Homo-oligomer: A and B are copies of this chain.
Amino acid sequence: MAFLHQTPLPHQHGGKHHDKPKDNDLSHDEDSDCEYTLTKSGQPFTTSHKIHFLRKSKSPGCPPIPISPFHDIPLIHSHTAYGQKIYNMIVEIPRWTQAKFEISRSLPLNPITQDTLSSSPSKPRFVHNLFPYKGYIWNYGALPQTWESPHYRHPDTGGAKGDNDPIDACEIGSRIAYTGEVKRVKVLGILGLIDEGETDWKVLVVDVRDKLAERLEDIWDVKRECPGLLEATRDWFRWYGVPEGRKANKYAMEGRWMDRKYAEGVIKECEDFWRELVKGKVKGSGDVCLKNTTLRGTPGYLDPSSVKLPPNEDLPPAEVDHDLEEVAYVDREESDDEDKDDDDSEDDEDDDEQDSLARNDDWDDLTKDAALNDLKTMTINLKYW
């Protein structure tokens, strides 16, 4: 078994921590005092733009150490007095913005870069303003030290493989975050998206310091405190790619929101997949860069003093072709019908988003048992008779 230990702080480099090798150390490390800072190189809205992460030192005079946000930021920040987990979340896309920033899976130390258009890879990708929304409707990002394994077919997502990225998160607090912000969040629920045929979970979270947070513990609370948010989130993810020529996405489990317990189970699975990955135990994961500066004993470990990041530039954004003011309209019903025509081979239930939205107005869904869900499935199928 590879030795695995998260180097706690730069001034402890070289210290001997080999006396208690525990395979699970990472999942229980708490970084309550860690602070992060960013280095921005290249011009935003170009392919040269990179946002690298550094962890500040607690010792005066010690410089911050470069880290990977994917591998070196602990998944669990701390626990509440009641034993509830507080997670770290890395913000990629601030609420109401459109630039598709994401943690690079393949670049060394996984900086945040901007996704590019599949049709022209030199051009930065922006999501369209899907009417009635402006850009992303939450602070969007990922949970560190998780991985949706492309080698795993989740039984609840119709056997679709993982999307090869950290698990995604939508933070619903009042504050607009910034790209690269590391937030401390509570997990509230999860939605099983099938994005272009891959499993792509969306975890719903709230910043623990947000004024909403004290009233939100689970998905039912979101339904009560933020009416319309769960439905809008489902609507957004289903249709957001259509204006750029992608197909509508589908949902696992008929688009039902799952509760916190279920969400934390999925996150734990993804954490386990990440742990195998970072230990170098996963074959066929060549496009994920495993370089890190805190996980000593892992194949990707680098001495932080050997890492040179590009200098911080913080340049103004480049001009872009994409019309950021434009609003895109998608006829949900018409697109739904087209979708049905195209995908006869797939499960009809997935297509039935309109019904699912309506059905979920009765939120008791979440608390009722399998028998009721079976009855609902029968009702949906009736539509096709």
For the complex, give the distance between the alpha carbons of A175 and B361 in Å: 35
Which residue of chain B is the closest to A225 with respect to CB atoms?
Answer: B329
What is the distance, in angstroms, from A36's C-beta to the closest C-beta of chain B? 22
For the complex, give the distance between the alpha carbons of A334 and B331 in Å: 27
Judged by a CB distance under 8 angstroms, whether A176 is at the interface is yes
Please indicate the chain B residues that have their CB under 8 angstroms from the CB of A131 in the complex.
Answer: 226-229, 232
For the complex, give the distance between the alpha carbons of A190 and B347 in Å: 42
Interface string of A347-363 (1 = CB under 8 A from B): 00000000000000100
Which residue of chain B is the closest to A130 with respect to CB atoms?
Answer: B228
Which residue of chain B is the closest to A232 with respect to CB atoms?
Answer: B132
Q: Is the CB of B175 within 8 A of A329?
A: no
Judged by a CB distance under 8 angstroms, whether A319 is at the interface is no
Most interface-central of A96, A232, A332 (chain B CB within 10 A)? A96
Please indicate the chain B residues that have their CB under 8 angstroms from the CB of A331 in the complex.
Answer: 227-228
Interface size of A as a range: 20 to 34
Please indicate the chain B residues that have their CB under 8 angstroms from the CB of A262 in the complex.
Answer: none
Judged by a CB distance under 8 angstroms, whether A325 is at the interface is yes
Judged by a CB distance under 8 angstroms, whether A366 is at the interface is no
Q: Is the CB of B174 within 8 A of A327?
A: yes
For the complex, give the distance between the alpha carbons of A176 and B327 in Å: 10
Q: Is the CB of A326 within 8 A of B174?
A: yes
Judged by a CB distance under 8 angstroms, whether A134 is at the interface is yes
Judged by a CB distance under 8 angstroms, whether A3 is at the interface is no
Q: Is the CB of B175 within 8 A of A325?
A: yes
Enumerate A188-244 residues with CB–CB distance to B below 8 Å: 225-229, 232
Q: Is the CB of B174 within 8 A of A228?
A: no
For the complex, give the distance between the alpha carbons of A229 and B334 in Å: 15
What is the distance, in angstroms, from A128's C-beta to the closest C-beta of chain B? 11
Please indicate the chain B residues that have their CB under 8 angstroms from the CB of A134 in the complex.
Answer: 96, 133-134
Judged by a CB distance under 8 angstroms, whether A62 is at the interface is no
Please indicate the chain B residues that have their CB under 8 angstroms from the CB of A133 in the complex.
Answer: 132-134
Q: Is the CB of B323 within 8 A of A174?
A: yes
What is the distance, in angstroms, from A365's C-beta to the closest C-beta of chain B? 16
Q: Is the CB of A325 within 8 A of B132?
A: no
Please indicate the chain B residues that have their CB under 8 angstroms from the CB of A334 in the complex.
Answer: 227
Give me 28 A-to-B residue pairs in the complex whose CB atoms sit less than 8 angstroms apart, sorted by A's number: A96-B134, A131-B227, A131-B228, A131-B229, A131-B232, A132-B132, A132-B133, A132-B137, A132-B232, A133-B133, A133-B134, A134-B134, A174-B323, A174-B326, A174-B327, A225-B329, A226-B329, A227-B329, A227-B330, A227-B331, A227-B332, A227-B333, A227-B334, A228-B329, A228-B331, A228-B332, A229-B329, A333-B361
- On A, residues with C-beta under 8 Å from B are 96, 131-134, 137, 174-176, 225-229, 232, 323, 325-327, 329-334, 361
Task: Report the 10 A-B pairs with minimum CB-CB distance, sorted nearest first.
Answer: A227-B331, A132-B232, A134-B134, A174-B326, A226-B329, A176-B325, A227-B329, A131-B228, A96-B134, A132-B133
